[in-house]
Structure 1
Amino acid sequence: MDLDAFWALIERSGRETADPDERTDWLIDALAGYPAAGIVDFQLHLDALRDRIDTYRLWGAAWLVCGGLCSDDGFWYFQAWLIGQGREVFEAVAADPDALADVPAIRELAGRDSEEWAEAEWPDWESLDDVAEDAYEEATDGDLEQVLVDRGYDFRLSPEPPDTQWNWEDDEEMERRYPRLTKIF
């Protein structure tokens, strides 16, 4: 599976259903029909895309959107959610996290307290991490994680941004870094 096929599956799952659990199930079923190597490739593409957006630059934007409720796990699931938005949104936000201000799902959250958000509105997609592993098991009865470990692949289960973190509670700094997001959040 090449990167274009990865994005095609992600985007098709979003057209099939907006519910994250149903999307996960749809992706597992679709991916289980691929050869084992394709399922492995799906996981490798997911992780490579996650690496591109595993930055404090994006984490600060996610923290702002989520009203400060963006722990390690929260940011990890936010990354999956961003990938789930499709290639065009992903590329725009990867280039400039302030572009989150243009994402319709984010705009719908603006001006509302996060305590009022429905569970399905939260910008996270925790179960995307299980898709390739579940599809691989369904297709082969094998263990995807073991296959990748045998290849020397290093699994990460939480963010490890390489850039420098700053004080996200510094309003002036946040406004400088995210002028559009700070206007709506």
Structure 2
Amino acid sequence: MDDDGFWRLLAEIRHDAGNDSDLTSRLLFRRLRKLDGNDIADFTRLWERIRSRLYSWPVTDAACLLLGSIEEEDLRHIQNWVISYGRETVEQVAGDPDGLVDLATDASSARAQWFDEFITEAHILVTGDWPLGHYPEGPDDLMGAHTDFSDQAAVHRRFPRLTAHRHHHPELGAPQLS
């Protein structure tokens, strides 16, 4: 499976699921189980590579602004959730994390473990082995610069759309990574 096949598969599944993230994850599992060993290994490798691209402070800061307080272990699930929306969304969020606000209507799915669990399970079913679980050439630490949430002017400059969203959703609480 190449990059185009990867993104095409995700686009088809997301379309078939009608943008329901839970259904998207289940349809992905069904489709992955039908792949051969090489294709599922390629799919998993591509997924991990793309997730490592989202492993940055700007994306993490945007997630904290969208969701409020998040746990470090939630980052993987949030990155998976973003990937499940497809190439355009990944490119948007990686290039301008403030664009994460476009997924606000589905924010309740952001921390779900569905994608990790189903990709792992499908990989094991097809290959008999556990997937690597990370992209070996990916970063060990969050890339980029962290935004100081106590500097409201800096937060507003960096994330104007998410700042506006938070203004209308005070129930989110303080943005932080714990």
TM bracket, shorter-chain basis: 0.7 to 0.9
Show the counterpart of 2:130. 144
Letter in 1 for 2:158: R
1:97 aligns with 2:97: yes
Partner of residue 133, structure 1: 120
Q: Write out per-residue CA displacement over residues 45-64 of structure 1, whole angstroms, 9 at most, x where no aligned residue.
A: 11110111110011111100
Q: Greater shift after overlay, 169-178 or 78-87?
A: 169-178
Q: 1:172 aligns with which of 150, 153, 170?
A: 153
Q: Out of 51-60 and 175-184, give the one that drifted further.
A: 175-184
Query: How many Å apart are 1:155 and its aligned residue?
Result: 10
What percentage of residue pairs aligned between the two structures are identical? Answer: 29
2:169 corresponds in structure 1 to none
Q: Return 5+ residue gaps in structure 1 as ranges.
A: 110-119
Deviation at 1:135, TM superposition (A): 1.4
What is the number of equivalent residue pairs in this alignment?
A: 163
TM-score when normalising by structure 1: 0.76
* Structure 2 gap ranges (5+): 167-178
Task: Name the CA distance, whole Å, in 2 between partners of 1:154 and 1:100.
Answer: 26
1:27-106 to 2 correspondences below 5 Å: 27-67=28-68, 69-101=69-101, 103=102, 105-106=103-104
Residues 45-88 of structure 1: per-residue CA shift (max 9 Å, x gap): 11110111110011111100112x22212222111111111111
What is the aligned counterpart of 2:110 among 107, 112, 123?
123
- Measured on the aligned residues, the alpha-carbon RMSD in Å equals 2.5
Distance change in 2, residues 1:46/1:175 (3 Å)? same
**Residue 73 of structure 2: SS of its match in structure 1?**
helix
- Contact conserved, 1:56 with 1:163, CA < 8 A, in 2? yes
1:134 to 1:91, Cα distance in 2 relative to 1, 3 A:
same
Distance in 2 separating the partners of 1:169 and 1:75:
21
Distance in 2 (alpha carbons) for counterparts of 1:83 and 1:53: 9
Asked if residue 183 in structure 1 is aligned to residue 164 in structure 2, the reply is yes
Within 2, Cα distance between the matches of 1:90 and 1:72? 20
Instruction: Determine if contact 1:49/1:83 at 8 Å carries over to the other structure.
Output: yes
Kept in 1, the 8 Å contact 2:7–2:86? The answer is: yes
Aligned-partner Cα distance in 2 for 1:177–1:24 = 31
**Amino acid corresponding to residue 22 of structure 1 in structure 2:** L
Structure 1 stretch displaced more, 31-40 or 162-171: 162-171
CA contact (8 A) 1:6 1:42 kept: yes
Which region of structure 1 is more displaced relative to structure 2, 15-24 or 3-12?
A: 15-24
Q: Distance in 1 between matches of 2:141 and 2:3?
A: 23
